[in-house]
Structure 1
């Protein structure tokens, strides 16, 4: 797809971390803090897995990492306790971090003429609080997060609002976002910030920030 003055899409679905807010490093630091006491080898494995699975629910990643790298199957109670620790560590920082360049400008410009959504891998109640604190909520139709997967969220948006997949654009920074778009048939544009290699297959459209996103509508 090439840039055009004619708007093809009726809706845009955004991932949150790394797409609307420069918050990926905050989540990286939280994962490192959670596992650093278990030694360098376990930490290296955890961080490699975490970075390869950005956009996936932290609960799924933590359960997998404990089982794989610590040989411990977390109980639901233990996982919930870790989840509360993680949220407490990251929420204020994510609410206050820098916006991805062009993100607020895009929301303000297109909030009235496009249906805008968030599909995050973070817990839904947490990301909704953050969106409110960042002043984004008035421009959005709805904000979704885990435990639903990205693909489940997109399918739900298509079904509830009656959008044709080709009329919806997903903007994400991780393969979880790309795969959700491919699975559901919606269009996709990736975000890879300057200095960070694109994780997406060749020929995937990629932008460095959201200042030029309007060209992909």
Structure 2
């Protein structure tokens, strides 16, 4: 593993949610498959594979892609909203029972007063508020931000809106979407993994405090 931010003090930490704060990726993958199972098993498998390969991308962007692939046209706003409602119906109760990733709750409890903490997720804000609120985690964040817009714009809005130096911000994510956002905005990056690129990554958040202490 290579280190991307060693020796750099931090002024803020930004977390992705699914796969970083909560262990929800398998549930959401299965939900995408159920959402399109009426198109047949091959389509459902494609949808699940695409979702896994494009972690951190807004589901609304994925809806557009799937409609273009399977129906040869754009999804309408009404169809996208209906898919979003159905996704929530299928997933929300299970999401509310999804455990936090190891180390996440302990880090938030111990360090929410040390740094301003933020969420930048590809999930809709209403879902993030509901799930993190039910888990008792929402209280630890200065702001919880979701899609739309895209992840890069969410992260940029946090950095610029708070007047932060991006070189003193750490983005923590589990997908190339998160890494690309960090690179575009200029923040440091830590992957939660196994992460698909040769960057610094951790299996979960149990060692996050020690990792940050090593940065100086």
TM-score by length of 2: 0.91
What CA distance in whole angstroms lies between the structure 2 residues aligned with 1:19 and 1:160? 23
Offset, 1:198: 2.6
Structure 1: tracts of 5 or more residues without a match: none
Q: State whether structure 2 residue 10 is matched by structure 1 residue 9.
A: yes
| Alpha-carbon distance in structure 1 between the residues aligned to 2:211 and 2:162 | 21
What is the CA-CA distance between 1:69 and the residue it aligns to? 3.0
1:133-152 alignment runs, 5 A limit: 133-152=134-153
Distance 2:4 2:29 in 1: 33
Q: How does 1:14-163 map to 2 (within 5 A)?
A: 14-163=15-164
**Which residue is 2:195 aligned to?**
198
Q: Deviations over 1:174-194 (max 9, x none)?
A: 1111110011110000001xx
Task: Count residues with an aligned counterpart.
Answer: 210
Task: Give structure 2 stretches of 5+ with no counterpart.
Answer: none
Instruction: Write out per-residue CA displacement over residues 27-71 of structure 1, whole angstroms, 9 at most, x where no aligned residue.
Output: 001111012221233223222221111111101101211211343
1:215 aligns with 2:210: yes
What is the TM-score with the length of structure 1 in the denominator? 0.91
Give the deviation of 1:101 after TM superposition. 0.2
Distance 2:206 2:15 in 1: 14
